[in-house]
Structure 1
């Protein structure tokens, strides 16, 4: 067994393995392996020149609490059927986590088909979306107030500007530039989808028509007038699409303007998992710019971090804020609180707050002094997370 980065000669086998494991259409697979796949970001297990397991580490930048992080988004985790149940995935994931730490990454992302498979490796749920299931006819009360047009590649800059504005109230989102949107347009087209823009109101919608369903992949708007106009645009498909499905951030406003919520089904959809790769560097990187000096307690807290796969995270860390700077060091003292890397991850991604972590882990909050708990609340502030990257 040999675990290594892929070479040119491995690509055909990796494509074949992807096709066996995932139900993606031929056009999407062609798009992915021509536009996204990079052998230098692909880790495989091979025996006798036979690729048995593989995954990709696609590169993104995300914004967590107004701090930019380079992340590897783990996708395409796959194994041939004849080696499943023999520990290949464990070896592949263990090696990958070691590589991410060695390469200086602080956090990582993963879209889990089954969370049970990845929680054991420290990846845990950090992102949700709302999914609306609406009868298209129920959007009849909205009126088109501005004209939409289909985008082409010259619109990548405009789409990037719209996206940046729409993300201002959100956390954990991928940073997207013009190059990203050039690729995004290709991705949507590879699945026979469409992107239309409301240039006047700086909004856009990407969607697919799937049988009798109008499926909205992403609808980003910057005022309610534009949102209503977009919903009217969807309604104008009512003769061909009887149902409408819209995926949206959890703070989305559609639920506030639908005429009759009783006929609209809303689901909370688990979307993305995250993981802290380097706990010490994450704490050092936290942005304190919005914290007033008087709010910072003169107290330290000692956290015993439990991480079964990245040994460097296994330690007692003493954390304090001195002169507006975070100080963290490994100590041999007794700890104030013990948290596993899964809980640390959900705090770090601002998905849960410290009270929720105490409740879920049945931790008696009296183990901490009030100033210690206030310090943790400053370090781990809950936010509204959003991400919509699929590969």
Structure 2
């Protein structure tokens, strides 16, 4: 067994393993391996020149707690059927986590088909979306207020501007520039989808027509008027598409303006997992966030971190605030609280707050003094997360 980064000669085999494991259409696979795939970000296990397992570490920047982090998004985790159950995935993930730490990454992302496969490696659930399922004719009361136009590559800057504005109230989202949207237009097109812009109302919609269903991948808007207009656009497809499915952030406003919620099914969809790669660097990075350190100045807490796959995270860390600066150091002392890397991750990604983590881990918070609890609450603040990156 040899674990290494891929070489150009390995690409055809990586594509073959991908095609066996995932039910993506030919056009999407072609798009992915021509526009996203990079052998320098691909880790494989090979034996006798045969690629048996692979994954990609696609590069993104996310905005977490108003702080920018360069992350590797783990995708395409795949193995040939003859090596499944033989520990290849464990070797692949262990090597990958070591590489991410060595390369200085602080946090990472992964979209899990089955969370049970990845929780053991420290990846845990950090993002949800909500999904609306309704009859298209239920949108009868909405009217298109301006003319939309189909997005082209010349609209990449406009799409980036609309998206960035809409993300201001959200957390953990991918930072998207013009280059990203040029690729996004190709991605949606590869699956026979459409992107339309309502520049007057500062909104856009990315969608697919799947039989009699109007499926909305993204509906990005910046005010209620633009949302109502976009719903009117969807309604105008009512004779063509009897059903509508809309994926949206969990704080989406459609549920507040739709006429009859009783006829609309709303689901909570688990979407993305995250992981803290370097706990020490993560805490240090909080100095760049907008944290009010006045209330917690001169306070400290000792946290024992349990991480089965990144040994450098296994330590008792003393976190303190001195002169309004957050500091962290390894200490050989008894801890005030013990948390595994999964709990640390859900706190760091602002998915859960300290009360929820205490409850889930059956921690008696009376063991902490009030100022220590205030320190934890300041460091780990719950927010509304959103991300929609598929690869």
- TM range, normalised to the smaller chain? over 0.9
| Partner SS for 1:294 | coil
Cα contact 1:135–1:244 (8 A) shared by 2: yes
Cα contact 1:298–1:371 (8 A) shared by 2: no
> 1:63 and 2:63 equivalent?
yes
| Partner SS for 2:339 | strand
- TM-fit CA distance, 1:128: 0.2
| Structure 2 residue aligned with 1:273 | 273
Q: TM-score, normalised by structure 1?
A: 0.99
| Partner SS for 2:388 | coil
| Structure 1 residue aligned with 2:24 | 24
| Partner SS for 2:201 | coil
Which residues in structure 2 correspond to 1:3-22 (within 5 Å)?
3-22=3-22
| Structure 1 residue aligned with 2:53 | 53
Which residues in structure 2 correspond to 1:201-350 (within 5 Å)?
201-287=201-287, 290-350=290-350
Q: Deviations over 1:336-391 (max 9, x none)?
A: 00000000000000000000000000000011100000000000000000000000
| Structure 2 residue aligned with 1:108 | 108
Q: 1:293 to 1:9 in 2, by over 3 A?
A: closer
> 1:182 and 2:179 equivalent?
no
Q: Aligned equivalents of 1:34 and 1:7: distance in 2? A: 15
- TM-fit CA distance, 1:287: 4.3
> 1:157 and 2:157 equivalent?
yes
Farther off after superposition, 323-332 or 103-112: 323-332
| Partner SS for 1:167 | helix
> 1:85 and 2:85 equivalent?
yes
| Structure 1 residue aligned with 2:378 | 378
Q: Deviations over 1:209-254 (max 9, x none)?
A: 0000000000000110110010010000001100000000000000
Q: TM-score, normalised by structure 2?
A: 0.99
Q: Aligned equivalents of 1:53 and 1:88: distance in 2? A: 7
- TM-fit CA distance, 1:293: 4.7
Q: Aligned equivalents of 2:127 and 2:43: distance in 1? A: 25
| Structure 1 residue aligned with 2:42 | 42
Cα contact 1:67–1:287 (8 A) shared by 2: no
Q: Aligned equivalents of 1:293 and 1:306: distance in 2? A: 27
| Partner SS for 1:97 | helix
Cα contact 1:288–1:324 (8 A) shared by 2: no
| Partner SS for 2:37 | coil
Q: Aligned equivalents of 2:88 and 2:365: distance in 1? A: 40
Cα contact 2:74–2:111 (8 A) shared by 1: yes
Cα contact 1:302–1:317 (8 A) shared by 2: yes
Note the residue ranges of structure 1 that are not aligned, 5 or more in a row.
none
Q: Aligned equivalents of 2:389 and 2:291: distance in 1? A: 31
- TM-fit CA distance, 1:296: 2.1
Q: Aligned equivalents of 2:295 and 2:150: distance in 1? A: 49
| Structure 1 outlier segments of 4+, above 3 Å | 287-294
| Structure 1 residue aligned with 2:357 | 357
- TM-fit CA distance, 1:321: 1.0
- TM-fit CA distance, 1:294: 3.3
- TM-fit CA distance, 1:298: 2.6
Cα contact 2:54–2:76 (8 A) shared by 1: yes
Q: 1:141 to 1:185 in 2, by over 3 A?
A: same
> 1:198 and 2:183 equivalent?
no
Q: Aligned equivalents of 1:291 and 1:307: distance in 2? A: 26
Q: Aligned equivalents of 1:353 and 1:45: distance in 2? A: 38
| Partner SS for 1:142 | coil
Aligned pair count reads 391
| Partner SS for 1:10 | helix
| Partner SS for 1:237 | coil
- TM-fit CA distance, 1:292: 3.6
Cα contact 2:67–2:288 (8 A) shared by 1: no
Farther off after superposition, 38-47 or 283-292: 283-292
| Partner SS for 1:34 | helix
